[in-house]
Each structure stands twice: as C-alpha cells, then as structure tokens.
Amino acid sequence: MMRSIFFILLFIAICVPCQDLFAQSASKPRYILAIHGGAGTILKKNMTVEMEKEYTNTLKLALSKGYEALKAGKSSVEAIAQTITILEDSPLFNAGKGAVFTNDGKNELDASIMDGANLKAGAVAGVTTIKNPIKAAIAVMQHSEHVMMVGAGAAQFAKSQHLEIVDPSYFWTKARWDALQKAKARDKERAELDHNANHTAIPEVYKDEKFGTVGCVALDRQGNLAAGTSTGGMTNKKFGRVGDAPIIGAGTYANNQSVAVSCTGWGEFFIRSVAAYQVSARMLYAKQSVEEAARGVIDEIGKMGGDGGLIALDKDGKLIMPFNTEGMYRGSVAEDGTISVEIYK
C-alpha cells in the first residue's frame, strides 16, 4: 500500500514539470533570429514619436534582412553579417557609422563573431577605418589562423581581404560629437568634484556613456547557431579601453550544443563574469534552461554592480532577452516570419 502511494507520488513529481514544459513549448514559436541595439536608460518620456519610429523601422529592416538570408538557406553567420551590417550602416546605433567618440575625438570600433557549429571565432578591436567591423571579424574567423586582431594590423588584414575601407571621417556624426563635448564638460566637473570631495560614486548621468552595442543571434536551417556583436565602445573612452564586445566568452559566444549569446551593457562587468559563455556553461554543466541561465547571469552582473542585457537563442529556438536597465532596443523573428520589436521594459 505504502509502496503504491510512493510510486504514485514519484510519477506526479516527474510528470508535472514535464507537462509545464510541453505546454510552454507548444505555445511559444520557434525563433530563428534576434537582435539588440544596446541597453541603457532608454525612457519613453525622453523619446520623440519620430525617433521611436526611426529606431523601430531600422530594427525591423535588419530583422527582415536576416530572415530572408535564413529562409534562402544561408548560414547563421551569413544572416548575422547581413543583419548587423544594416545596424552598423545606421547612424542610430553605437556601431559602425554611429560609433561614439573617444576622449581624443576618434572612433575606435570593435566586433566579434562565433560559429556554434565548429566553435570558430573572430574578432577585431580598436579599428578606425573598416566600414563594417562585423565583416572584418568574420574574415578573421574564416580566412586567418587567428581569433583576434587589433588596431592598424587588423585594418591591414581587412584590406587584404578586400573589405571596404573608409576615411575615419566617415564615422563622424553630429550627435556623437556633441555627446563627446558634453561628456568632456562633465568629466572636467567630475574631476573637480573628485578633487574637492574625494567621492568615488559615479553619478547617474555618466552611466549611459558606457552603453550601446548591436548584436545578433541566429539559428539556420542546418541547425547551426551563431552570435555576433559590434560596437563603437564608450563615449570619451581613454587609454585604448576595450570592452566586452570583441571578447569571445564575454560579449559573444555560440555553441551548437547549447546556445548563442550576444551581450550589451557595462562591458567591464560582462568581461569579469565571462557573461556570454557563462550562459552556455550553466546550460551544459548545471543543466539550467536558457531562461534560468540567461537570467542568472544578468542577476549576477546586477549583484556585482553592473548593468546591461543580453539576447540568448538556444539550439531548440527558445529565445530570451533579459536586461536590468530601463530599456533595451531588441527584436526577434520567428520561423513563420513574424517580426516583433521592443524598446522599453
């Protein structure tokens, strides 16, 4: 009698979570591509109707380009190249054309890619003349023995690969130039404050100078996952600072056994927590779902004092886009072509 009750209870314990799982996977579509355009203090009250429309339209255009590529049977890496190129060519996002300025008035760009099929990866950092850094990262992955190239050497390689090289002035935009002047004025003020009061807290206004990155994750018809990230870095950055975007494991990671991840946010925290790869490690080693794993990483970054978000697409087409900021430009496209775009929490 007792034994029968035990087996009935055991059966219930096993099957109830299973039912939940089936219910969930039946109701949710299978996603094949997702993008982000940066996370930060994005508030509806600060956004005009026109700006919101511009952002939304560009995100939709990028998603549809990626969808077309995947539908045509192209690889997830190729779909990411086409998607991120749209975002890099737009002045709206802090990547490519819209890159922010460093302290000495330059635009230094970083990008990376990882192919989940073979764990190959490519990255460039601190490049100033490559029109589309994501294409350079892909060329490093596909046509060199290396994973990461920086500075003038990376540009020389891109040139040898017949990628489009532009004059550094191509990256000049009025909005980003004005942002640098504002940041410098605040920096001066902060230096004076530091001198007078020896305070170490970073005022809220500076925080968003750290944000803005674009990224894409994709799952192609062959079942291959890939992830790519591109950024113009941090407004007013000094000392050749490099964030998480070009770091494999931190800003970008993809593995067919688990998940494709692209991150955006306060890069230093994403490097220290090896954020993108940590999502995969939690799934592979702790057997967490993509939801648990991705939220776990963002929670951990929050506890460390950092902020930002990530997009994670697992091998079964499950998508999660957690962030702990006010907003994150993000969008997704499902297998049936349904496109959705969101900005705020």
Q: Which is nearer to a second copy, 92 or 250 (CB)?
A: 250
Which amino acid does the sequence have at 334? A
Contact pick of 168, 203, 223, 240 for a second copy (by CB under 8 A)? 240
229 belongs to the catalytic site: no
Binder among 37, 133, 212, 249 for a second copy (CB under 8 A): 249
Q: State the nearest-atom distance from the C-beta of 57 to a second copy, in Å.
A: 35
Measured from the CB atom, the residue of 279 and 319 that comes closer to a second copy is: 279
Does position 289 interact with a second copy (CB under 8 A)? The reply is no
Regarding 268 and contact with a second copy (CB under 8 A), the answer is yes
Distances in Å between the alpha carbon of 261 and those of 13, 43, 205, 270, 273? Answer: 32, 25, 28, 12, 14
C-beta of 44 vs 106, nearer to a second copy: 106
Which uninterrupted H or E stretch holds 178?
Answer: helix 174-197
**Nearest residue (CB) to a second copy, 298 versus 334:** 298
User: Under the criterion CB under 8 A, does residue 148 sit at the interface with a second copy?
Assistant: yes
The nearer residue to a second copy, 76 or 332, going by C-beta atoms, is 76
- Give yes or no for residue 126 binding a second copy (CB under 8 A): yes
Asked if 320 touches a second copy (CB under 8 A), the answer is: no
Distance CA 164, CA 67 (A): 24
Strand 31-40, strand 214-219: pairing: antiparallel
Query: Roughly how many angstroms between the first and final C-alpha of the chain, as a whole number?
Result: 53
- Residue 269 contacts residue 297 (beta carbons within 8 Å): no
- Name the catalytic one among 58, 102, 213, 229: 213
DSSP state of 101: P
At position 104, the amino acid (one-letter code) is D
Phi, psi for residue 304 in degrees, rounded to 5:
-75, -15
The neighbouring-strand residues paired with 121 are 114
Distance between CA 303 and CA 311 in Å, rounded? Answer: 19
Give the pair of three-digit tokens for residue 50.
């026109």
Contact residue for a second copy among 46, 57, 156, 257 (CB under 8 A): 156
Site residue total, a second copy (CB under 8 A): 45
CB 333, CB 319: distance < 8 Å: no
Which one among 84, 86, 271, 341 touches a second copy, defined by CB under 8 A?
A: 271
Q: Look at strands 225-231 and 109-115 and give their pairing.
A: antiparallel
Q: Is 264 in the site for a second copy (CB under 8 A)?
A: no
- In whole angstroms, what is the distance from residue 137 CA to residue 88 CA? 13
Binding letters toward a second copy, positions 292-311, x by CB under 8 A:
------------x-------
Taking residues 184 to 213 in sequence order and writing x for each that binds a second copy by CB under 8 A, - otherwise, the string is ------------------x-----------
Interface with a second copy (CB under 8 A): 114, 119-121, 125-126, 144-154, 156-157, 202, 238-243, 247-250, 253, 267-268, 271-274, 277-278, 281-282, 284-286, 304
- Which residues have a catalytic role annotated? 213
